[in-house]
Structure 1
Amino acid sequence: MTLLTTPRTRIRHAGEADAAALWQFRMDNRAHLAPWEPLREERYYTQGHCAQTIFDWRESIRLDRGYPFLVFDPDEREVIATFNLANLVRGVFQACHLGYAVAQKWQGQGLMREALELGLAWALGPLGLHRVMANYMPRNERSGRLLERLGFQREGYAPRYLCIAGTWEDHVLTSLIHPKG
């Protein structure tokens, strides 16, 4: 299991025992994250669904298709953020999509940037990726600023790209490319 640590976080893949912590993160941030996520069925907000999610995540890692991470406080009492290196493609592409979420009460403290700096270094280093793509809705200015600070470059604009909160939303397309590539 990959474990990354920063001065204020412990970042790792989820295990079965983390279902309750993931559920708490989802419950605590349901309204906060709703404008930036797909519509969710009620089942999404159950511990059973969180356990299934973790099982699916572990399978994704085993198959080298995606690498979801939970970001904990240093004592691992609480999930403060999540990020996922998803839709991983090997071969001549060596790329993935980045998705992330930070708990409302931890926003504005630089924790997401701190975690992503380390996670992206891992993706472009030991994981062997060449490109990490991240897309955001133009009205999500915080996300745009975070990606810019992390070194992502704007590559395009996609009208009606993803169905978020029940509406097809435009997205700004960005990527971070391995510095030696």
Structure 2
Amino acid sequence: MSEPVRMRTPRLLIRLLDSEEAELLLRYRLDNRDHLRPWEPLRNTTHYTLEGCRQTIEAGLEASRSDRGFPFVMLTPDASEVVGTFTFANVVRGVFQACHLGYGIGRRHEGQGLMFEALDAAVRYAFGPLDFHRVMANYMPRNDRSGRLLERLGFEKEGYAKRYLKIDGLWEDHVLTAKIRSQG
């Protein structure tokens, strides 16, 4: 992608971060460390440092340039705060044209419909300019909110994977869902 990707929704600015914005990412990570822990892999101490955030952003920009992944942040309209994040990861092109979607939202912003707003725009972008045929998103069965969000976005359950991902140090089962680009 040669042009920087920017999406706007009524309440959010969505884009990739620049490495000079590592402080924004660090503030989000520190503010939501305990809130996100049950839903994420174990994080090392570097994850919560300015240099670790710079490295994450640089790796994300490289992944985007090479069409391997797209780690977006959801920002307040004035770009002063990270509200949440989502990533189109594990991009496979060729006959598959698919990716996995992962996401998280800051504790202060839960329950306001912001993740739905962001992912609704993001999935349209995935099926438009990114030209994906399939977007897959998986969630732990105990995460009812995530299951309801994906259902509202039009994702359909496709299966159940036992001990699928190591989350917070434990192998967790996941419900497998996907949304397919409509024909026409």
Offset of 1:179 from its aligned partner? 1.1
CA distance in 1, matches of 2:108, 2:59: 27
1:51 correspondence with 2:84: no
Give the secondary structure class of the aligned counterpart of 1:109: coil
Residue number in structure 2 paired with 1:82: 85
User: 1:80-125, CA deviations, whole angstroms, 9 ceiling, x for partnerless residues?
Assistant: 0100000000000000000000000000000000000001100011
Structure 2's unaligned 5+ residue stretches are none
Aligned match of 1:117 in 115, 120, 138? 120
Residue number in structure 1 paired with 2:142: 139
TM-score by length of 1: 0.99
Aligned match of 2:129 in 126, 131, 151? 126
Offset of 1:14 from its aligned partner? 1.0
TM-score by length of 2: 0.97
Aligned match of 1:101 in 104, 110, 113? 104
Give the secondary structure class of the aligned counterpart of 2:173: strand
CA distance in 2, matches of 1:17, 1:80: 18
1:175 correspondence with 2:178: yes
Residue number in structure 1 paired with 2:19: 16
Residue number in structure 2 paired with 1:156: 159
Offset of 1:17 from its aligned partner? 1.9
Identity of aligned residues (%): 57
1:37 correspondence with 2:64: no
User: 1:117-174, CA deviations, whole angstroms, 9 ceiling, x for partnerless residues?
Assistant: 0011000111100000000000000000000000000000000000000100000000
- Pairwise CA RMSD: 0.7
User: 1:9-55, CA deviations, whole angstroms, 9 ceiling, x for partnerless residues?
Assistant: 00001111220000000000000000000011111100100000000
Query: How many residues are paired up?
Result: 181
Give the secondary structure class of the aligned counterpart of 2:138: strand
Residue number in structure 1 paired with 2:75: 72
Q: Which residue identity lines up with residue 6 of structure 2 in the other structure?
A: L
CA distance in 1, matches of 2:35, 2:29: 10
CA distance in 2, matches of 1:9, 1:43: 28
Give the secondary structure class of the aligned counterpart of 1:180: coil
